[in-house]
Amino acid sequence: MTSAPDSLPKASIAPTPRASWREAWAVYLQPRVLIVLLLGFSSGLPLALSGSTLQVWMAESGVDLRTIGLFALIGTPYTLKFLWAPLVDALHVPLFTRTFGRRRGWLVFSQLLLIGAILLLALTDPVRSPLFVVLGALLVATTSATQDIVVDAFRVESLPESEQAAGMASYVAAYRIGMLVSTAGVLFLVAAFEGAGIVRTSAWMWGFIAMAALVLIGTITALAATEPAQSARAEAATRGEAAFSRVMHAAVRAFSEFLVRKQAWAVLAFVVLYKLTDAFSGAMTASFVIKIGFSKVDYAAIVKGVGLAATLIGGFAGGYVARRYSLAASLWIGGVLQALSNLAFCWLALVGVKQWALAVAITAENFTGAIGTVIFVAYLSALCQNPLHTATQYALLTALAAVGRTYLSAGSGYVAEATGWPLFFVVSVVVAVPSLILLAWLQRRGHFDELGPVRV
């Protein structure tokens, strides 16, 4: 009897034929691409609530830099989500799965849990109840990571080859817009509430409550979507198996597929290190802007204005690069650009508190970061090619990528305090070197050729 993984078609990212600009843009209006775009917003929204936005709240409350830097460890669920991803691949959520399907049931379930976690975090106070802040932030990160597991699997499985490039560009652009809304949007709301006479603690509470309400965009999108055909076939192929057996098969096969590949450990190390330069500088960017003298309103206005525009343009530029060049060449372009953009903050530290200089730095960081992220998502998607355990494989890869953001960048506050801001951002550029060395090593050994038709 043929095993289930071999009997199912594999997802792939094939070359996209050249088309007119009208045809190229029309694909962004396809229903599946629009669904992925809205789910990308829902995935990006909660990340900053337990990260940079929480950092601003803590910085305003007088928490010291070292403690703020250590709060990067709150992102631990993003690095461990592969541990429960097999449950998402294999188990049914009572009532939800039967009503909405394998992927959509988990989507709605995880989003409802996420709304509850954000509301809990909204009720905490960084000064009076730091332990409750930690608990609330951990719950937000855990439920957000679970939502990411499902959204990533849904995106990879639902988009046909002709829509992969547009889907990835839309997903990343919307993801970063979600992050901007939960940073700049929250800061604007909090400032407005304070201007209306609401005390700071209550202003932050209502800001977080508003973000919980925005999660409903993802829930409505999940209800309007249709179950991916690949997921439905995978569900049918394993319907006769016991729940425990399905979980074990999803876990073992997902991991073993990576470990039997050539240069497997080098690939996993590259996944960990590629976005580290962004993570290292990003862990302290919000605190840096506040500490050198900008107000949260200044920061929010620039992030929401030029930052949003740069994110959108960068996302679609990343899609163009991934379509135009080979995957290896695209990774080189994204890796170098996202590292060099950190020098803009080094320059800002020397220039001082000037709004136009902050706009330049934010524009450079958002534009290059979006390019790098789209290309990186294309690479991770190319590594996940079996719909029986897409969620587990992609969760493993994104969890490894989160190691840099969570653990390797946790000491960034100590580095910033020891070196000063200009040198800190120079160090964040140097942090990119190991990933580029690994990229060259993998390229010389034909790793990207072995992935098959992964140009998008």
Residue 308 has pLDDT above 90, yes or no: no
Predicted confidence at residue 67, as pLDDT, reads: 67
Give the pTM.
Answer: 0.70
CATH code of 222's domain: 1.20.1250.20
Q: Produce one character per residue of 243-258: b if its CB has 16 or more CB atoms within 10 Å, e if not.
A: eeebbebbbebbbebb
Predicted confidence at residue 21, as pLDDT, reads: 52
Top mean pLDDT of 83-97, 156-170, 289-303 is at 83-97
Handedness of CA 374, 42, 341, 398 (dihedral sign): negative
Question: How many other C-beta atoms lie within 10 A of the C-beta of residue 446?
Answer: 11
Question: Under the phi-then-psi rule, with left for phi > 0, alpha for psi from -120 to 50, and beta for the rest, what region is 155?
Answer: alpha
Top mean pLDDT of 145-154, 209-218, 318-327 is at 209-218
Q: Is residue 432 part of a domain?
A: yes
Tokens of 230: 């690949």
Task: Give the structural domain span for 92.
Answer: 20-450
Tokens of 102: 């394998």
pLDDT, greater one: 62 or 331: 331
Which amino acid appears at position 381 of this protein?
A: S
Q: Is residue 10 part of a domain?
A: no
Instruction: Please tell me the total count of domains within the chain.
Output: 1
Over residues 363-375, the mean pLDDT reads 90
Q: Is residue 3 part of a domain?
A: no
User: Is 162:281 a contact under the CB 8 Å cutoff?
Assistant: no
Segment among 110-119, 202-211, 252-261 with least mean pLDDT = 252-261
Tokens of 23: 């045809």
Handedness of CA 393, 395, 398, 403 (dihedral sign): negative
Q: Is residue 1 part of a domain?
A: no
Spatial distance between the Cα atoms of 375 and 317, rounded to a whole number of angstroms: 10
373-400 residue pLDDT tens? 889 988 888 887 666 677 788 888 877 8
Percent of the chain with pLDDT strictly greater than 70 = 85
The distance of Cα 436 from the centroid of its chain, to the nearest Å, equals: 21
Q: Is residue 6 part of a domain?
A: no
Predicted confidence at residue 336, as pLDDT, reads: 96
Top mean pLDDT of 84-93, 128-137, 337-346 is at 337-346
Over residues 233-238, the mean pLDDT reads 67
Q: Is residue 13 part of a domain?
A: no
Spatial distance between the Cα atoms of 111 and 144, rounded to a whole number of angstroms: 8
Over residues 39-45, the mean pLDDT reads 93
Spatial distance between the Cα atoms of 361 and 378, rounded to a whole number of angstroms: 26
Q: Is residue 326 part of a domain?
A: yes
Q: Is residue 78 part of a domain?
A: yes
At residue 270 the predicted structure's pLDDT band, cuts being 50, 70 and 90, is very high
Spatial distance between the Cα atoms of 301 and 309, rounded to a whole number of angstroms: 12
The distance of Cα 331 from the centroid of its chain, to the nearest Å, equals: 17
Spatial distance between the Cα atoms of 184 and 194, rounded to a whole number of angstroms: 15
Percent of the chain with pLDDT strictly greater than 90 = 29
Q: What HEC string does the chain produce?
A: CCCHHHHCCCCCCCCCCCCCHHHHHHHHHCHHHHHHHHHHHHHHCCCHHHCHHHHHHHHHCCCCHHHHHHHHHHHHHHHHHHHCHHHHHHCCCCCHHHHHCHHHHHHHHHHHHHHHHHHHHHCCCCCCCHHHHHHHHHHHHHHHHHHHHHHHHHHHHHCCHHHHHHHHHHHHHHHHHHHHHHHHHHHHHHHHHHHCCCCHHHHHHHHHHHHHHHCHHHHHHHHHCCCCHHHHHHHHHCCCCCHHHHHHHHHHHHHHHHHCCCCHHHHHHHHHHCCHHHHHHHHHHHHHHHHCCCCHHHHHHHHHHHHHHHHHHHHHHHHHHHHHCCHHHHHHHHHHHHHHCCHHHHHHHHHCCCHHHHHHHHHHHHHHHHHHHHHHHHHHHHHCCCCCCHHHHHHHHHHHHHHHHHHHCCCHHHHHHHHCHHHHHHHHHHCCHHHHHHHHHHHHCCHHHHCCCCCC
User: Is 151:43 a contact under the CB 8 Å cutoff?
Assistant: yes
Over residues 303-320, the mean pLDDT reads 81
User: Is 250:405 a contact under the CB 8 Å cutoff?
Assistant: no
pLDDT, greater one: 218 or 318: 218
Predicted confidence at residue 7, as pLDDT, reads: 38
Residue 92 has pLDDT above 70, yes or no: yes
Cα angle for residues 126, 132, 133 (degrees, 5° grid):
45
Residue 72 has pLDDT above 90, yes or no: no
4-28 residue pLDDT tens? 333 343 444 444 444 455 555 666 6
At residue 243 the predicted structure's pLDDT band, cuts being 50, 70 and 90, is low
